């Protein structure tokens, strides 16, 4: 049973006034010298990963073209789609932080490419994600709470094909291309960013239109199966992995150890997901590039709840919690800090006076 | 009337790094560039007031630890979103092994 109105997740008034970005957030102690080493960017390490990813996208795409029209096209599309859709989503995120490459234009080039491949407006999402990091899972402030309570299991299942999320993104792309922003978007996107936000949506729409025209001219679905549609049929793996980031955990707590998860994954998933399974570490020290997150994990793990040993272990706890939240929205998973761990800062939601 | 304040020892800052310096109710960031020049800016990011001293110096830029906004610490210029407003900068001099800033 849905208990509508349990909490107000909207970013508009009165929440728009209640910024908690200056609240003290907990950070596990890491000596400055070690942190500087971990924050260092390496074009070589980033390029090795990104070039391999692009090579896999191109190679599996070429194989898909080769087997198009045969029964092999289906499994090939599935593999291609995962590298395209799921691989792009995690790389959109990483380059949005600007952390993988030392050279800025490389970050920016991959950011715009991956933003298009995941059908996200690069400017709007940069600012939305900045807010997510300032006020992680703070109700009415974080625009990226994927499981507002009571959660919609229907939306979660449909999002395995990215249907609600990407349908929303496509609608957003059209709306923004004609210069229309919602009040919630205006709440985190400064006016100086609006012109390039509109221009980016127009450019993305134009590319999609060209792909559509190519499909019509060739009388074939192939161009759309290669560009555009993989975001729908290939992002499911990203969605399965990204659900573990915060679902079922505490809201309104200034401690990423309690509102985020670190999950052990196999190397293939970690490659596709750009090590975002180290999500506590990523939120606590977002300057650390993805390839140094395992080392950061080692540096702070004694101060954090134990990492989940597998995706299965995480889902076994998370799914029942999310199901229970449908009828009991006050329920959440209380992560246990180890003995001797640092203390969570106290935090109270500001009372917003009525005008 | 210039008001020069001692911020730190010159060797308290490593090359290509910064330190935080608090004075009264204000906070500053003192930088040492890769070629051993010293600079000073306001200590808080203009985006959401995070302490820049927890960030990363790369060449002549400081990156905010919270959202990766970057500034040229020589001029204060905001170089990367989400920062849109530049940092205030302050004159610096080195005397008797100390870094002095004029505020």
Q: pLDDT digits over A45-66, tens only?
A: 999 999 999 999 999 999 999 9
A99 touches chain B (CB under 8 A): yes
pLDDT for res B64 = 92
Closest CA to B29 of B90, B98, B95: B90
Contact of B100 with B92, CB cutoff 8 Å = yes
pLDDT band of residue B19 (cuts 50, 70, 90) is very high
CATH assignment of the domain containing B13:
2.102.10.10
pLDDT for res A3 = 45
As a whole number of angstroms, the distance between CA A140 and CA A17 comes to 10
Instruction: Please state, rounded to an integer, the average pLDDT across all residues of chain A.
Output: 90
DSSP 8-state secondary structure symbol assigned to residue B88: P
- A222-253 burial string, b = 16+ CB within 10 Å, else e? bbbbbbbbbbbbbbbbbbbbbbbbbbbbbbbb
Residue A31: C-alpha distances to residues A35, A183, B98 (Å): 6, 42, 24
A23 touches chain B (CB under 8 A): no
A342 touches chain B (CB under 8 A): no
The pair phi, psi for residue A158, each rounded to 5°, is -60, -30
As a whole number of angstroms, the distance between CA A150 and CA B18 comes to 46
The CB density around residue A172, as the number of other CB atoms within 10 Å, is 20
Torsion region of A7: left, alpha or beta (phi above 0 gives left; psi -120 to 50 gives alpha):
beta
Q: Beta strand pairing status for B78-80 and B98-102? A: unpaired
What's the rounded mean pLDDT across residues A185-197? 88
What's the rounded mean pLDDT across residues A264-276? 97
In the block, tokens 């990423």 appear at A256
pLDDT band of residue A2 (cuts 50, 70, 90) is very low
Q: Which one of B56, B68, B80 has the shortest CB-CB distance to A36?
A: B56
Nearest CA-CA distance, residue A336 and chain B, Å:
26
Q: Which one of B55, B67, B70 has the shortest CB-CB distance to A133?
A: B67
A344 touches chain B (CB under 8 A): no
**Residues in A touching B68 (Cβ below 8 Å):** 97-99, 286-287
As a whole number of angstroms, the distance between CA B10 and CA B96 comes to 9
- In sign, the C-alpha dihedral spanning A111, A116, A121, A125 is negative
What's the rounded mean pLDDT across residues B14-18? 92
Q: Please indicate whether, in this complex, the C-beta atoms of B68 and A97 are within 8 angstroms of each other.
A: yes
Q: Please indicate whether, in this complex, the C-beta atoms of A21 and B48 are within 8 angstroms of each other.
A: yes
**Residues in B touching A102 (Cβ below 8 Å):** 58
pLDDT band of residue A16 (cuts 50, 70, 90) is low
Q: Please indicate whether, in this complex, the C-beta atoms of A104 and B80 are within 8 angstroms of each other.
A: yes
Nearest CA-CA distance, residue B98 and chain A, Å:
22
Residue in chain B lying closest to A41 (CA): B58
The number of domains in chain B is 1
A256 touches chain B (CB under 8 A): no
Q: pLDDT digits over A307-339, tens only?
A: 999 999 999 999 999 999 999 999 999 999 999
Residue in chain A lying closest to B44 (CA): A22
Domain limits at B41? 4-102
B84 touches chain A (CB under 8 A): yes
When computed from its CA atoms, the radius of gyration of chain B, rounded to whole angstroms, is 13
B43 touches chain A (CB under 8 A): no
pLDDT for res B98 = 93
B56 touches chain A (CB under 8 A): yes
pLDDT for res A350 = 62
Residue in chain B lying closest to A21 (CA): B48
Best residue in A19, A27, A39 to probe B by mutation, most B CBs within 10 Å?
Answer: A39
A10 touches chain B (CB under 8 A): no
Nearest CA-CA distance, residue A165 and chain B, Å:
24
DSSP 8-state secondary structure symbol assigned to residue A278: B
pLDDT band of residue A155 (cuts 50, 70, 90) is confident
pLDDT for res A153 = 84
B82 touches chain A (CB under 8 A): yes
B15 touches chain A (CB under 8 A): no
As for the ipTM of the complex, it is 0.82
Nearest CA-CA distance, residue A163 and chain B, Å:
29
In the block, tokens 């969570």 appear at A344
Who wins on pLDDT, A288 or A159? A288
DSSP 8-state secondary structure symbol assigned to residue B92: E
As a whole number of angstroms, the distance between CA A142 and CA A276 comes to 19
By percentage, how much of chain A surpasses pLDDT 90? 70
Nearest CA-CA distance, residue B8 and chain A, Å:
18
Q: Please indicate whether, in this complex, the C-beta atoms of A134 and B48 are within 8 angstroms of each other.
A: yes
Q: Please indicate whether, in this complex, the C-beta atoms of B84 and A190 are within 8 angstroms of each other.
A: yes
Q: Please indicate whether, in this complex, the C-beta atoms of B66 and A133 are within 8 angstroms of each other.
A: yes
Residue in chain B lying closest to A20 (CA): B48
pLDDT band of residue B91 (cuts 50, 70, 90) is very high
């Amino acid at each position: 049973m849905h208990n509508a109105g349990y909490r107000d997740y909207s970013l508009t008034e009165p929440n728009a006034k209640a910024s908690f970005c200056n609240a003290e957030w907990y950070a596990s102690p890491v000596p400055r010298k070690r942190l500087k080493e971990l924050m260092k960017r390496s074009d070589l390490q980033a390029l090795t990963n990104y070039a391999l990813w692009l090579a896999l996208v191109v190679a599996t795409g070429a194989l898909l073209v080769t087997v198009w029209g045969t029964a092999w096209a289906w499994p090939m599309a599935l593999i291609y789609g995962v590298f395209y859709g799921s691989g792009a989503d995690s790389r959109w995120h990483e380059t949005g932080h600007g952390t993988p490459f030392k050279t800025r234009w490389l970050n920016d080039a991959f950011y715009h490419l991956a933003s298009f491949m995941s059908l996200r407006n690069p400017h709007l999402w940069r600012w939305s994600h900045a807010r997510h990091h300032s006020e992680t899972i703070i109700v009415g402030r974080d625009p990226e709470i994927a499981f507002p309570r009571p959660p919609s299991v229907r939306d979660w299942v449909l999002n395995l094909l990215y249907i609600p999320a990407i349908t929303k993104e496509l609608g957003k792309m059209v709306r923004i291309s004609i210069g229309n922003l919602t009040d919630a978007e205006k709440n985190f996107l400064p006016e100086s960013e609006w012109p390039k936000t509109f221009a980016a949506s127009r450019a993305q729409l134009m590319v999609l239109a060209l792909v559509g025209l190519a499909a019509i001219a060739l009388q074939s679905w192939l161009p759309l199966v290669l560009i555009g549609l993989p975001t729908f049929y290939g992002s499911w793996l990203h969605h399965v992995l990204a659900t573990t980031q915060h679902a079922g955990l505490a809201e309104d707590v200034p401690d990423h150890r309690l509102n985020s998860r670190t999950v052990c994954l196999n190397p293939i998933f970690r490659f596709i997901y750009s090590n975002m399974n180290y999500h506590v570490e990523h939120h606590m020290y977002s300057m650390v590039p993805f390839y140094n997150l395992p080392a950061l994990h080692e540096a702070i793990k004694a101060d954090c709840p134990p990492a989940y040993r597998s995706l299965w272990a995480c889902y076994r706890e998370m799914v029942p919690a999310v199901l229970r939240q449908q009828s009991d929205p006050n329920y959440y998973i209380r992560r246990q800090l180890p003995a001797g761990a640092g203390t969570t800062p106290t935090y109270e939601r500001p009372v917003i006076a009525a005008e | 009337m210039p008001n020069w304040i001692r911020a730190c020892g010159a060797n308290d800052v490593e090359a290509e790094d910064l330190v935080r310096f608090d004075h009264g109710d204000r906070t500053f960031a003192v930088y040492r560039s890769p070629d051993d020049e010293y600079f000073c800016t306001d200590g808080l990011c203009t985006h959401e007031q995070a302490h820049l001293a927890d960030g990363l110096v790369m060449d002549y830029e400081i990156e905010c630890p919270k959202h990766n906004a970057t500034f040229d610490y020589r001029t204060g210029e905001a170089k990367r979103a989400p920062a849109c407003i530049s940092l205030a900068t302050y004159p610096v001099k080195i005397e008797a092994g100390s870094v002095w800033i004029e505020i």
